[in-house]
Structure 1
């Protein structure tokens, strides 16, 4: 059915598709406004979703939540949603919604139904639930709430029941980072792999995986950003690495570079001249064995193609296990190490937020508030002064 949106006299987008003639000979032209749409493109997408769920008499038919979510994900994917986000939404829909809300009609679902669904996701498997973490349930909650908002805007559902479903409180997971002893062990292992005695393809592989971990440690980049850095992104004159992409892994195609970072903030991360020397030495070694590679080739590669972030992080986990380090230390922990040590050294929150590619300083503060230097020391001093006064002494300072 062809649906075309127009602006009403008050500036709100609307549509009136023609569905034929009813039994009395009158035209069937249902009318729907889309006040939530700010552009023609948004209005058109909502109108097409609404029209796709009309029956022959112009009424919105009931539709299964699972089918609607599949349509919603496809629409968001076409609109430029992150492939990793689309992948996560697809997992929620296929693994959880299809299993626990199979056949459920979106318009008929109540707050109680959806709250019970989330509790089932939290419940341990041996009690008949899914047994996933609270943070994953929060992500699923946000996905469903956004989807229902879109269903309401499109006229498919009358209201959004997710508004009244209480999210679980998030898990408070402390950022895992290397202490001085573990850092020394990791650093020695990375240095050894990046300076092999034998120049062959096996040595290149070990060198590249170590190089990726080293690069994350000295810059604080995410693993997808490390994999996306190209040789041309290293600015030797001004000693920085440009972070402007993220490597995505999607079914049916090799890893590819998306021209935007996970945090949607491109940035230049300053490094030392000694770090530039390490980069040049590793690139020269790779070129001698496999290359030469060009400026648009990945900085971290074993064959000239972009590497899978899962593979790179998995190789670091193997190194971690070989060194006997805690399991909770992952490749992402190298990013946390960089941020934690920067804070310890007195780097301010704004500078660190920009360096890490966070959306704003509040994100940095939320993740690293517990390691901000000086706060606990100030508390100790305050208590000491109060205790001295209580004992009848004279408080210092």
Structure 2
């Protein structure tokens, strides 16, 4: 039996005919060893647990398209319906993409001949406009950040969260990137900051020397912003102490902070100052991109500042913020409307037809009758 089991192995995959959940776990381990992001690996393991809970006896060889379709429908069903997961369509789309990639690998390794996921219908994506701060809300946040950075203890959590929020607002960094920004990444002469890392909590809190987009970038800041960064460093040196070039800029004691903790504390700050309900840390990144685009910064530059793979990603997320086309349409319509009204007045004056009210019409009729009576008559 052991020899038969060994012959069924396919290049690191589990034996043909084994449980689907075990094969998926093996696939995730392979992706982890080949360099997938820790956050992605953590998400995939969560998907594997859902498969194990929903289809505990499903075989990687015998599972059908109907089984996988029912599995995704169960994830979409609300919890009140009797056993549903209540996941959003976008989350189930992520599960679908994971299973699709896994079964392509399973087929390529020869574990089975057909791909049952090829016929599973993917849920339609939910489109949500990225929330950003408007002109009414921005002063509220800036006043709070300024107050904390001026008065709070540099060794306090509130101070560190305010630093992270301010960095995200002026550079468009993600929360994990703000937590990973080191002192040596600050370049006062340019002035700019070098975004080259991210903090992850998957598998333990640690700093990665790579961003989520797998590409480092240099983001320019104004001289005034650089003065604020240097003021933060000076305040930390006086209160925290023991900080060196590799110390994070967002810290309370010289160690990296948890991105989840920073996000939670910012959500509390946003609620206290009266920002819109549901405001979260990632909104600061959207605000930076939206304000840049709406004030004339070109799409390529914004894409580079955000660290997107290409301009298509930026355009898909922030097309609503691009100026020009809609305002041009408003100006064109207004000009056409004014031209049409002017043409109507000219035509009325030219033909002697002026719109008159009922009283003006009666007076005009009386004058016409008097003129007709006074006019001489001629007999033929």
TM interval, shorter chain, is: 0.7 to 0.9
Tell me the distance in 1 between the aligned counterparts of 2:298 and 2:248: 31
State the superposition RMSD in angstroms. Answer: 2.3
Verify the 8 A CA contact 2:242 2:254 in the aligned structure 1: no
1:216-239 residue CA offsets vs partner (Å, 9 max, x unmatched):
000000001111111000011110
Secondary structure at 1:184's aligned position in 2?
helix
Unaligned stretches of 5+ residues in structure 2: 345-380
- The structural deviation recorded for 1:385 is 5.6
Structure 1 equivalent of residue 269 of structure 2: 319
Verify the 8 A CA contact 1:195 1:207 in the aligned structure 2: no
Structure 2 equivalent of residue 65 of structure 1: 20
Secondary structure at 2:12's aligned position in 1?
helix
Residues 1:88 and 2:43 aligned together: yes
Tell me the distance in 2 between the aligned counterparts of 1:389 and 1:248: 61
Q: How many positions carry a matched residue from both structures? A: 342
Tell me the distance in 1 between the aligned counterparts of 2:269 and 2:131: 16
1:79-113 residue CA offsets vs partner (Å, 9 max, x unmatched):
1110000111111111x212222211122122222
- The structural deviation recorded for 1:370 is 1.2
CA distance 1:383–1:168, shift in 2 (3 Å) = farther
Structure 1 equivalent of residue 76 of structure 2: 122
Verify the 8 A CA contact 1:176 1:328 in the aligned structure 2: no
2:98 to 139, 143, 168: 143
Verify the 8 A CA contact 2:154 2:236 in the aligned structure 1: no
Secondary structure at 2:111's aligned position in 1?
coil
Secondary structure at 1:352's aligned position in 2?
helix
2:299 to 349, 366, 372: 349
Tell me the distance in 2 between the aligned counterparts of 1:393 and 1:137: 58
1:107 to 56, 61, 69: 61
Unaligned stretches of 5+ residues in structure 1: 1-17, 21-27, 33-45, 54-59
Secondary structure at 2:151's aligned position in 1?
coil
Structure 2 equivalent of residue 230 of structure 1: 182
CA distance 1:392–1:163, shift in 2 (3 Å) = farther
Structure 1 equivalent of residue 208 of structure 2: 258
1:211 to 158, 163, 169: 163
Secondary structure at 2:193's aligned position in 1?
strand
Tell me the distance in 1 between the aligned counterparts of 2:58 and 2:6: 29
1:153-211 residue CA offsets vs partner (Å, 9 max, x unmatched):
111121211122121111111111111121100101011111116x574xx32211101
Tell me the distance in 1 between the aligned counterparts of 2:143 and 2:334: 42
CA distance 1:200–1:133, shift in 2 (3 Å) = closer
The structure carrying a bigger helix percent of its residues is: 2
Residues 1:47 and 2:11 aligned together: yes
2:316 to 366, 372, 379: 366
CA distance 1:192–1:218, shift in 2 (3 Å) = same
- The structural deviation recorded for 1:48 is 2.7
Tell me the distance in 2 between the aligned counterparts of 1:379 and 1:140: 42
Secondary structure at 1:107's aligned position in 2?
coil
User: Which of 152-161 and 206-215 deviates more?
Assistant: 152-161
Structure 2 equivalent of residue 242 of structure 1: 194
Equivalences for residues 265-280 of structure 1 within 5 A: 265-280=215-230
Query: After TM superposition, which residue ranges in structure 1, 4 or more long, deviate above 6 angstroms?
Result: 28-32, 388-392
Tell me the distance in 2 between the aligned counterparts of 1:64 and 1:184: 56
For the pair shown, the structure with the greater C-alpha radius of gyration is: 2
Tell me the distance in 2 between the aligned counterparts of 1:346 and 1:114: 47
Equivalences for residues 73-84 of structure 1 within 5 A: 73-84=28-39
Tell me the distance in 2 between the aligned counterparts of 1:141 and 1:324: 38
- The structural deviation recorded for 1:265 is 1.8
Secondary structure at 1:187's aligned position in 2?
helix
Verify the 8 A CA contact 2:185 2:193 in the aligned structure 1: yes
Verify the 8 A CA contact 2:168 2:174 in the aligned structure 1: yes
TM-score, normalisation: structure 1: 0.81
1:263-295 residue CA offsets vs partner (Å, 9 max, x unmatched):
112100000111111111111111111113100
